[in-house]
Amino acid sequence: MSERQYRLLLGVILIMSLFFHWSVMLYAYIGVLLFEGVTNWRIPLLVSRIRYGKDARNPEQAACTLGIPFDVERAFRLIIGALLVVSVVVYPEALWSIPWFLGFALSMAGITGVCPMAMALKKAGFRS
Amino acid sequence: MNEKAPVSDDLTRTWQESVAVKITAVVLYAVVLVASLVAAFFLWNADERMERDYAEKADRLAYRVSVDAAGGRTLAGFSVNMERLLPGSGFSAAELRMGDETARTGDPGKDPVAILRPLPIGAGNACVLTLYHLSLHEAVRSRRSAVFIITGASAMVFGLFLTWVILKFITRPIHALVAATRAAISGDLSVRLDLAREDEFGALSRFFNRMLERIGEELAERKQAEERLRRSNEFIKTALDGMNDGISVIDARNFIIQGVNSKFLEEYNLREEDVIGKTCHEVTHRRLDPCGPPDDVCPMLETLTTGGHAVAEHVHYEHDGRKVFVEVSASPIMDEKGEVVQIVHVSRDITDRKQAEELLKKNKEQMANMLDSIHAGVLLIDSRRHEIVYANSFAANMIGAPRDVIAGRVCHQFVCPAEKGMCPITDKREAVDNSERVLLRADGSRLPILKSAMMMQYHGEEHIIESFIDISAIKRTEHELREANDELQAFMYSAAHDLRQPLVNIRGFSVELRQSLQEISAITAKHPDRFAPEERNKLDAIYQNDIQPELGFIESSVERMDGLINGLLKLSQLGHRVMRPERLDMNALVLTVQGSLMHLVREKNAVLSVAELPGVVADRLAMEQVMSNLLDNALKYLCPDRPGVIEISGERVNREVVYHVKDNGRGINRDDMPSGR
């Protein structure tokens, strides 16, 4: 499973959770994202290791240019998770549109492969 | 251009990499972001606005219901009326209470919110309309979901449309351009873009096509130029390798050899890798420093100094150390600034020439020694300028001047002084062989010489070689001999005259003696009895056998002596006579001679036959004398045993005429013939 496919999955799940008011699913979703971000045990990586072995790498992974020792995907997950926590748990009425935006953004990132946040993080120097 | 960029026409596999998808993604991000902001803006305090909306809707609905019920409608009519009004009103259910009766239409749902509106109908009975709608929280959430779902669906549709548009108008032409470019990169320059569009892509396709045509033309020109260059290089290499001189191209800065032809390698018995990169003096002179005067004048240094062509003779060394005499020429190759950057070094093996020159020098010395040893003067003269090139020592002695004075002078100053401008060799083109000429000596005296001259090639030019001997002694002897001869002729003439007189006396007296003896014989014949028979017989015997033959001997001796004297007289006259050559008709001349000798022909009973004789240029009297003598001798000495036959004939042999007088006479005894003939 590639990060792109995983993003599409994340986007679809987020939209469905919002549309069908699956609150538990939404909290679990946030939890998984934060867990992945904190531990770096990311599901695509784990799936790839299960499928291709211990040394499997993300095919999209490239060399770090600026040398910040933190993966883009970890940062990505932490930021998404943090945004969801803020918008869903802390200010649900004021920031109700952020989860929807994130859902559609993740879906489009999964479909098109263009993820502005990941690109910005890479540009900022995070390890991809 | 990024060669690693995935370029493919298969959009089913690479659609995510498509520019269209990326542009679409960026646009959709913007759309979703804007939609989120707009939705957040418009749905701000949505519950309050919805509450107001519901209140207003409830008022309007209550008004409609009250208007419809103004005619005294019943609850049943209300239900029917509400079923018509409720859908699309935003309310889930409506309930009308008239007194104790209640009529409800629709399902209020879970946790509904009720709005009560009193209706001014039903006199005396309170009539209240209760409208139910969902809780505001749920309603707001549903609206938000609806807004985002619609926005998302619209964005998806718009994205697909945008992608299609971009694909149609941008990506496909780009793909076509990419495919054409890839084909061009693969070498297929015949590919063309056929975009019937007038926009930027149409212009780009035309530029692309023109660019390919231009590249094709330039490639063709380049191929032609390369072919020409290749042929030129092959021609130059073939020409250089075919030349019989060793050629090398040398860097003018450090004398390092940069290229050589095959003859160079052959001359020095080296391989190309042994030569390239080494200095010329290292390869050809086996020395580490460049050649320099006075031993070896380097023509390349001269070329570097003067910028022109330079030639010198050098001794080079082959790989095995053998000396090679070479003529080295250096020609400059200049750059655009006019500075000498390379030098073309041409070395020609002149070892054979040097050996030939040495041999020639030796031969010259030997020839000079030989010519000096000859006891005759030899001059070598330039036929064009008539200048004396060489004189041997004998010639110098004869002329009376040193050789270096003679050399370079015009030949007419010494030989043939009277023939200036009439040189038989160069002007008249005649052969001069043993001709008497005069040599003008340095002191002004003249020396008679016997000269021969002939043309010869000397150093590739025509020269005259003249050889002559001093004949002044011969001339003196000849003069003396001529004087002696004159004296001898005078003596012979006088002797012949003096001898003729006694001979006439002898002939006369012998005739008288014969007559006297005949008279005595007649007398004795008259008187035969006066002599005894023995005496008579003895007298007859003496007369017949002794006196008659002896008188005959005297007469014949006189005749012979007369002939000798006549011959002597003629010889003396011949020496004085001046010859007058003229063209003679020999047939007429022989006929005249024959007439003068006719009596002798008849006497000898001989037959004289004369063939057709060729004419000749000669002295008439001398020829008559010769012919007369020959015929006279032939008639005189015919053989008495057979009839005489004399034949006269003549023939031309080259430029001479030979006459034959042939007889069948006694011939000449071999012992009487002069020896050696």
Q: Which residue has the tokens 């599409």?
A: A8
Q: Measure A39 CA to nearest chain B CA, in Å.
A: 29
Q: Is A113 on the interface with B (CB under 8 A)?
A: yes
Residue B338 has pLDDT above 90, yes or no: no
Predicted pLDDT at A67: 60
Predicted pLDDT at B3: 37
Contacts of B580 (CB under 8 A, 6+ apart): B619, B620
Q: How open is the CA angle B520-B524-B525, to the nearest 5 degrees?
A: 115
Pairing of the two strands A68-71 and A126-127: parallel
The H-or-E segment that residue A42 falls in is: none
Pick B36's closest partner by Cβ from A100, A107, A109. A100
Contacts of B480 (CB under 8 A, 6+ apart): none
The span from the CA of B280 to the CA of B283, in Å, is 5
Residue A73 has pLDDT above 80, yes or no: yes
What are the φ/ψ torsions at residue B187 (nearest 5 degrees)?
110, -5
The span from the CA of B543 to the CA of B514, in Å, is 10
Predicted pLDDT at B649: 94
Q: How open is the CA angle B612-B618-B619, to the nearest 5 degrees?
A: 120
The region that residue B109 occupies, defined by phi over 0 for left and psi between -120 and 50 for alpha, beta otherwise, is: left
Residue A14 has pLDDT above 90, yes or no: yes
Contact B246, B268 (CB under 8 A): yes
Q: Which residue has the tokens 């590739």?
A: B460
Query: Chain B 30-69, CB below 8 Å of chain A: which residues?
Result: 32-33, 36-37, 39-40, 43
Of A32, A116, A4, A120, residue with least CA distance to A68: A120
What are the φ/ψ torsions at residue B426 (nearest 5 degrees)?
-90, -35
The span from the CA of B610 to the CA of B621, in Å, is 20
Residue B609 has pLDDT above 60, yes or no: yes
**Would you give the DSSP letter of residue B3?**
T
In this predicted model, which residue has the larger pLDDT, B329 or B368? B329
Predicted pLDDT at B611: 92
Residue A79 has pLDDT above 90, yes or no: yes
pLDDT digits over A48-60, tens only? 888 877 665 555 4
Residue B663 has pLDDT above 70, yes or no: yes
Q: Which residues on chain B are in Cβ contact (under 8 Å) with A96?
A: 40, 43, 144
**Would you give the DSSP letter of residue B190?**
T
Residue B546 has pLDDT above 80, yes or no: yes
Q: What is the Cβ-side half-sphere exposure of residue B95, based on CA atoms within 13 angstroms?
A: 15
Inter-chain CB proximity B24 and A105 less than 8 Å: no
Q: Which residue has the tokens 């200095």?
A: B279
In this predicted model, which residue has the larger pLDDT, B284 or B13? B284
Buried residues in B428-439 as b, exposed as e (16+ CB within 10 A)? eeeebeeeebeb
Predicted pLDDT at B438: 85
- How sure is the predictor about B420, in pLDDT bands with cuts at 50, 70 and 90? low
Q: Which residues on chain A are in Cβ contact (under 8 Å) with B36?
A: 97-98, 100-101
Q: Which residues pair with B116 in a beta bridge?
A: B130
Predicted pLDDT at B4: 39
Buried residues in B298-332 as b, exposed as e (16+ CB within 10 A)? bbbbbbbeeeeebebebebeeeeeeebbbbbbbbb
Contact B260, B248 (CB under 8 A): yes
CB count in 10 Å sphere of residue A109: 25
The span from the CA of B540 to the CA of B547, in Å, is 10
In single-letter form, the type of residue at position B568 comes to L
Q: Is A72 on the interface with B (CB under 8 A)?
A: no
- How sure is the predictor about B285, in pLDDT bands with cuts at 50, 70 and 90? confident
Residue B482 has pLDDT above 50, yes or no: yes
Q: How open is the CA angle B242-B247-B253, to the nearest 5 degrees?
A: 155
Q: Is A93 on the interface with B (CB under 8 A)?
A: no
Pick A104's closest partner by Cβ from B22, B26, B32. B32
The span from the CA of B272 to the CA of B254, in Å, is 19
Q: Nearest residue on chain A to B20, judged by CA atoms?
A: A112
A32-37: long-range contacts at Cβ-Cβ below 8 A with a sequence spacing of 24 or more? A33/A77, A33/A78, A33/A80, A33/A81, A33/A84, A34/A77, A34/A78, A34/A81, A34/A82, A34/A85, A36/A73, A36/A74, A36/A77, A37/A74, A37/A75, A37/A76, A37/A77, A37/A78, A37/A81
pLDDT digits over B89-127, tens only? 888 888 888 777 788 888 888 778 888 888 776 556 678
Residue B347 has pLDDT above 60, yes or no: yes
Residue B143 has pLDDT above 50, yes or no: yes
The span from the CA of B231 to the CA of B238, in Å, is 10
- How sure is the predictor about B657, in pLDDT bands with cuts at 50, 70 and 90? very high
Mean pLDDT estimate for chain B: 83
Predicted pLDDT at B212: 87
Predicted pLDDT at B7: 46
Q: Is B627 on the interface with A (CB under 8 A)?
A: no
Contacts of B412 (CB under 8 A, 6+ apart): B386, B419, B420, B423
Q: What is the Cβ-side half-sphere exposure of residue B101, based on CA atoms within 13 angstroms?
A: 9
Q: Is A101 on the interface with B (CB under 8 A)?
A: yes
Predicted pLDDT at B6: 43
Inter-chain CB proximity A104 and B155 less than 8 Å: yes
Residue B5 has pLDDT above 70, yes or no: no
Q: Which residues on chain A are in Cβ contact (under 8 Å) with B43?
A: 96-97
- How sure is the predictor about B2, in pLDDT bands with cuts at 50, 70 and 90? very low
Of A84, A87, A113, residue with least CA distance to A13: A84
Q: Which residues on chain B are in Cβ contact (under 8 Å) with A18?
A: 145, 148
Radius of gyration of chain A (CA): 15
Percent residues over pLDDT 90 in chain B: 7
Residue B180 has pLDDT above 50, yes or no: yes
Predicted pLDDT at B122: 58
Could you give the C-alpha distances from B392 to B99, B371, B374, B604, in angstroms and in order?
178, 6, 9, 67
Q: Once rounded to an integer, what is the mean pLDDT over residues B169-180? A: 82
H helices within B292-379, ranges in order?
Answer: 299-306, 351-373
Contact B87, B106 (CB under 8 A): no
What are the φ/ψ torsions at residue B575 (nearest 5 degrees)?
-65, -25
The SS3 of residue B656 is strand
pLDDT digits over B373-392, tens only? 888 898 888 888 888 988 88
Predicted pLDDT at A13: 93
H helices within B167-278, ranges in order?
Answer: 172-185, 200-242, 262-268, 272-275
- How sure is the predictor about A84, in pLDDT bands with cuts at 50, 70 and 90? very high
Predicted pLDDT at A30: 93
Percent residues over pLDDT 70 in chain B: 92
Pick A112's closest partner by Cβ from B25, B141, B145. B25
pLDDT digits over B532-542, tens only? 888 888 888 88
Q: Which residues on chain A are in Cβ contact (under 8 Å) with B144?
A: 96-97, 100
The span from the CA of B392 to the CA of B378, in Å, is 6
Q: Tokens standing for B31?
A: 């759309």
Burial classification of residue B269, based on how many CB atoms lie within 10 Å of its CB (0-12 exposed, 13-18 middle, 19 or more buried)? exposed
- How sure is the predictor about A63, in pLDDT bands with cuts at 50, 70 and 90? very low
Of B429, B390, B421, residue with least CA distance to B407: B390
Residue B245 has pLDDT above 80, yes or no: yes
- Distance spanning both ends of chain A, measured CA to CA: 16
Q: Once rounded to an integer, what is the mean pLDDT over residues B258-264? A: 87
In this predicted model, which residue has the larger pLDDT, B359 or B103? B359
The span from the CA of B651 to the CA of B614, in Å, is 7
Of B80, B124, B135, residue with least CA distance to B98: B124
In single-letter form, the type of residue at position B576 comes to H
Contacts of B576 (CB under 8 A, 6+ apart): B489
The span from the CA of B29 to the CA of A103, in Å, is 11
The span from the CA of B62 to the CA of B52, in Å, is 15
